[in-house]
Chains A and B, each alone.
Chain A
Amino acid sequence: MAILEVNKMNKTYIGKVNYEALKNITLSVEEGEFVAIMGPSGSGKTTLLNCISTIDAPTGGTIHINKISPYALKEEELAAFRRQQLGFVFQDFNLVHTLTVQENILLPLALDRVAQDVMMERLAKVTTILGIQHLLTKRTFEISGGQAQRVAIARAIIHEPTLLLADEPTGNLDTKSVKDVMQLFTTVNQDMNTTILMVTHDAYVASFCQRVVFIKDGEFYNEVYKGNNRQQFYQSIVDNLAFLGGVTHDFS
């Protein structure tokens, strides 16, 4: 079953000079899939993700998430939709600095008025998967970047969203943390069967996914499936990037 269906979507920024950020994008993501979107800077990766995230309305075409078209929803329904169906992870973590780690993770559930015991149960589950039980009482400025991103992932998955969206989740992390965080995404994808759509410019990060979609100048360019061999998958990602004018990464 397709969780995400994007059909002929356009996004044009109106200004002194109109700028077409996305042209006719069609994309389908199946349930339980882990997909990366890649492309050179300015190719429209983040715009695509923002449109899917329901935070930046497309100017044409349709988006369906779990058979629902979010932009057709009323404001209150849209808020509930975000709260229940979507999870977000950002490059710069976006944790609320006035809240502790635990409070940050529980925030989506609190907004949805989930019962206290269910909250604690789910908290225990995600923190065990992500290995952040010892951080719960800390404030956001007391933890490292890698830890902050884990907290952000915990917050994004605690309500068991239909679709987890990640925008350059490793962009601010060191090599060791990149590997840890990506392994966590894989775990979340496999153990909780969460569908993940991620934007990255890093071939190494993308190689953790099952499929990579390349876009260039706002248009669909190519896609690559993982198959059985990750090394080969990495190589074909790098090859594609080379055509696009991207960068390669040392495979560690």
Chain B
Amino acid sequence: MTFHDIVWKNVVRDKWTYIAYFLSSVFSIFIFFSFAVSMFHPDLAVISNGSMLAISMTVGAILVYLFSFIFITFSIMAFMHNKKKTLGLFMLIGASKQQMHRMLFYENIIIGVSAIVTAIVAGVICSPLFLLLSRKVLQIDGFAFYMPFKAIGITVLLFLTLFMIVAFISPRMLRTTQIIQLVKGDKQGEKAAVFSRVKWLIGMGMLACIPATIVWLPQQIEENTLMQLCLFLLFLGGLYVVFYQSIQGVLQRIRQSSSFMQGTRPLVVSNLMSDVRANTKMMYLVTILLLGAFFAIIILYLFSTNVAKDTRSNYPFVYTYASHVDNTHEQQHLTIIDDKLNQQPGFAKQELAILVEEDERVGYISNSQYNEAATLLHMSPINLQASEVAIVAGNVGVIPQKDIETQPLDKALLAVKNVIEKNITPTGYFSRLIVLQDEDYTKINKATLSAMTFTNYTFENWTQFIEQDRALNQVLQGNIYERASLFSAVGLYNTERISKNLALYIGFMLALIFIAASLSMIYFRLITHVDRERQQFKSLCKMGLSLQQFHRIINHQLAFLMLVPFVIAVMLVLLALLLAQQLFTSSAVIIVGSITLFALLQLTGYLYVRKYYKKSLLTM
């Protein structure tokens, strides 16, 4: 028997301790590999949107990799804690530090290599399915199954490096050279922690800073990445403090109440309190993981459902042909476009003559023309008197400036009557439009202005127009000169939709990984103490604990550990969505729907874990 045999047996015979960690690692590697398979597909070069797929998949893969790194490091730390006693024993018998390091290193490598192999085998088997998904998301042809050697290579390389790094770092976490602490590791209870109102308030203050800064300094947050990071860290820190102190507070309050020594309550509470640090840490991490999963899915889903609406607020008309007055091909182009579109149901066309002040990118239109366009867009018409103007936004979501300085007209005459926050021209083309009364419009000083015509088209079912849009683009391509441009909501919609779908697809995969990781943490927490708990319940049963009471204790304990993080995560998601309300009006149904779905998943997980945990406590 050699040292290697010992290490090998130590892992193989202890496989149930490692199983959850192993499976979550396999799952992460599997997802990474599946992204890599799409990323390196040989067809990618020839298909349109190929680069977008490659970039999205790379981003997804990097996120998975980063997350795996954190998850694996964390799990190893937890394992080290769990195996303290064995490690101390080995050192006592005379294992040298070098041997300890080597043992932990081999252990990690054994698990790592088996996880990589399992994940790649599963990945190759499932790769046709993933390629099919990629194909569906991108709505492309081809993309057939292939033998992904490159993906295998990169997965093995990256994850082997990852496990190597972790395997190399982890023994160094074993700081305590005092063997006595290691040997007694499993018997040392945690020091009882005390609830501190001051700390709780500090934590709440940290959390309260976040919405406050968002409300007061929205501009800075949007521009400053460092600030975003700070806010994120503040959130993580604050949440931990509040979490820890609140759980302390609640448990201590129950303990001090007069009805504490009633029924199974003292057992449940003291059980939770005995490992309150470890429990809190686990619950906190599960909350964070669930939050990650919820946000990934809900936000990306909301984005992907609003694509049509978002597209039309960027490009108010389905097609807009913007032409300068000196564009000689205008009639030719418009005929081509008319021919393509005029068979569509609900077809409507409108011409908008705009005078452009080129430097400031301000456009001037007449009241009657504005009303024509507004009617097509189902906006209310305006009625200006002489010397009155209305200002229309040029960009989506930007309220136009009210002051009228660069005036080709006599400015003393003008008063701003309306400010219209919705743009009627493609976003970004103008900084704003100024609507003048028809008569004033004719009197405008055209010297500094150039004339343009915007020909707008709308029709129904435009989202189904993708094929024809492609054909139209092909005809006009090379024919459009710099004196004209065509804005196609259909094209924008299609690009947006594909990228949003891709984001949703990747977000969904990440959410799955987060949920798997959170379950693995709960499993790990339970398996760590299953022997001790079994012993305890055995002796409690001897004292007269009924089976019914046993069930009650476990139900309450697990409900606390598993459902509290879920409820908190849901509350935080709802709060965040409420704060960002202007982004997602009218999506309450979707949010409630997805939360219900998550709740069902979580409940199933709870019932399942409960059943098996009880079973493992009752056997032996």
Where the two chains meet, the residues of A that have a C-beta atom closer than 8 Å to any C-beta of B are: 50, 53, 55-56, 75-76, 79-84, 86, 88, 94, 96-99, 102-103, 106-113, 116, 119, 155
Q: Are B183 and A55 in contact (CB under 8 A)?
A: yes
B10 at the interface (CB under 8 A from A): yes
Question: Are A55 and B178 also in contact (CB < 8 A) when A99-B10, A110-B1, A119-B1 are?
Answer: yes
Interface 9-residue window, one of B85-93, B497-505, B520-528: B85-93
Alpha-carbon distance between A50 and B92 when the two chains are bound, in angstroms: 11
Nearest chain A CB to B478 CB, angstrom units: 72
Alpha-carbon distance between A56 and B85 when the two chains are bound, in angstroms: 15
Question: Are A103 and B1 also in contact (CB < 8 A) when A88-B93, A111-B93 are?
Answer: yes
Chain B residues positioned under 8 Å from A88 (CB to CB): 92-93
Q: Are B1 and A56 in contact (CB under 8 A)?
A: no
Q: Are A56 and B10 in contact (CB under 8 A)?
A: no
Q: Are B6 and A110 in contact (CB under 8 A)?
A: yes
Interface CB pairs A-B, < 8 A, 13: A56-B179, A56-B180, A79-B91, A82-B91, A82-B94, A83-B94, A86-B94, A94-B89, A96-B86, A97-B86, A98-B10, A107-B90, A111-B95
Nearest chain B CB to A17 CB, angstrom units: 16
Q: Is the interface of A mostly helix, strand, loop or mixed?
A: helix
Residue in A55, A84, A99, A109 whose beta carbon sits within 8 Å of that of B180 in the complex: A55
Q: Are B89 and A103 in contact (CB under 8 A)?
A: no
Question: Are A79 and B13 also in contact (CB < 8 A) when A50-B180, A106-B1 are?
Answer: no
B219 at the interface (CB under 8 A from A): no
How many contacting A-B pairs (Cβ < 8 A)? 84
Q: Are B96 and A76 in contact (CB under 8 A)?
A: yes
Alpha-carbon distance between A119 and B1 when the two chains are bound, in angstroms: 8
Chain A residues positioned under 8 Å from B96 (CB to CB): 75-76, 79-80, 83, 111
B361 at the interface (CB under 8 A from A): no
Nearest chain A CB to B102 CB, angstrom units: 11
Query: Which residue of A is nearest B187, CB measured?
Result: A92
B99 at the interface (CB under 8 A from A): yes
Q: Are B97 and A110 in contact (CB under 8 A)?
A: no
Question: Are A103 and B178 also in contact (CB < 8 A) when A55-B183, A98-B13 are?
Answer: no
Chain A residues positioned under 8 Å from B85 (CB to CB): 94
Chain A residues positioned under 8 Å from B89 (CB to CB): 94, 96
Residue in B1, B13, B92, B98 whose beta carbon sits within 8 Å of that of A55 in the complex: B92
The residue in A55, A56, A82 that gathers the most chain B C-beta atoms within 10 A of its C-beta is A55
Query: Which residue of A is nearest B13, CB measured?
Result: A98
Query: Which residue of A is nearest B96, CB measured?
Result: A79
- Interface size of B by Cβ–Cβ distance < 8 Å? 27
B3 at the interface (CB under 8 A from A): yes
Q: Are A110 and B92 in contact (CB under 8 A)?
A: no
Chain A residues positioned under 8 Å from B99 (CB to CB): 79, 111
Nearest chain A CB to B477 CB, angstrom units: 69
B5 at the interface (CB under 8 A from A): yes
Chain A residues positioned under 8 Å from B1 (CB to CB): 102-103, 106, 109-110, 116, 119
Alpha-carbon distance between A40 and B95 when the two chains are bound, in angstroms: 33
Alpha-carbon distance between A114 and B85 when the two chains are bound, in angstroms: 25
Alpha-carbon distance between A79 and B179 when the two chains are bound, in angstroms: 11
Q: Is the interface of B mostly helix, strand, loop or mixed?
A: helix
Chain B residues positioned under 8 Å from A109 (CB to CB): 1
Chain B residues positioned under 8 Å from A86 (CB to CB): 94
Nearest chain B CB to A139 CB, angstrom units: 8
Q: Which of B173-232 contact A (CB under 8 A)?
A: 177-180, 183
Query: Which residue of B is nearest A94, CB measured?
Result: B89
Q: Are A82 and B92 in contact (CB under 8 A)?
A: yes
The residue in A88, A96, A103, A119 that gathers the most chain B C-beta atoms within 10 A of its C-beta is A96
Q: Are B9 and A112 in contact (CB under 8 A)?
A: no
The residue in A81, A88, A107, A119 that gathers the most chain B C-beta atoms within 10 A of its C-beta is A107
Q: Are A76 and B94 in contact (CB under 8 A)?
A: no
Residue in A55, A84, A99 whose beta carbon sits within 8 Å of that of B179 in the complex: A55
B548 at the interface (CB under 8 A from A): no
Residue in A56, A80, A84, A102 whose beta carbon sits within 8 Å of that of B178 in the complex: A56
Q: Are A79 and B180 in contact (CB under 8 A)?
A: no
Nearest chain B CB to A122 CB, angstrom units: 12
Q: Are B14 and A98 in contact (CB under 8 A)?
A: yes
Query: Which residue of B is nearest A90, CB measured?
Result: B183
Q: Are B97 and A79 in contact (CB under 8 A)?
A: yes
Q: Are A108 and B94 in contact (CB under 8 A)?
A: yes
Query: Which residue of A is nearest B94, CB measured?
Result: A83
Nearest chain B CB to A91 CB, angstrom units: 12
B2 at the interface (CB under 8 A from A): yes
Nearest chain A CB to B505 CB, angstrom units: 42
Query: Which residue of A is nearest B14, CB measured?
Result: A98
Chain A residues positioned under 8 Å from B93 (CB to CB): 82-83, 88, 107-108, 111, 155
Alpha-carbon distance between A108 and B6 when the two chains are bound, in angstroms: 11
Q: Are B10 and A96 in contact (CB under 8 A)?
A: yes
Chain A residues positioned under 8 Å from B95 (CB to CB): 79, 83, 111
Chain A residues positioned under 8 Å from B92 (CB to CB): 53, 55, 82, 88
Nearest chain B CB to A57 CB, angstrom units: 8
Nearest chain B CB to A136 CB, angstrom units: 12
Nearest chain B CB to A28 CB, angstrom units: 24
Q: Are A76 and B98 in contact (CB under 8 A)?
A: yes
Nearest chain A CB to B181 CB, angstrom units: 9
Question: Are A94 and B13 also in contact (CB < 8 A) when A79-B95, A82-B94, A107-B93 are?
Answer: no
Residue in A50, A79, A94 whose beta carbon sits within 8 Å of that of B94 in the complex: A79
